Amino acid sequence: MKRVLIIAHMGQMIAQFNHRNIDILLNMDVEVHIAANFTSPLNTMSEVALHDFTNVMKKKGCPRSSNRFLKRGRVDFI
């Protein structure tokens, strides 16, 4: 199975602009991982909207690398 990691600085970038790309990849049987900062106060989407988005991604089968679920929280890049 192919795997893809989608990285964005802020969670709203994925929720607003990349959700269709994620759907396409999932329909192609690609394992999609998402890394973004969903908790920053600089996000332009409300916390509730971002939380709803992460729940939708979980239901669609978008895993996280350690426990197979999308991580909401800070991702530190080095």
* Sequence spans of domains, the chain: 3-60
70 in Cβ contact with 64 (< 8 Å): yes
DSSP at 34: E
Q: Report pLDDT for 68.
A: 34
pLDDT tens, residue by residue, 20-74: 999 999 999 888 888 888 878 888 888 888 888 888 888 888 765 333 334 455 5
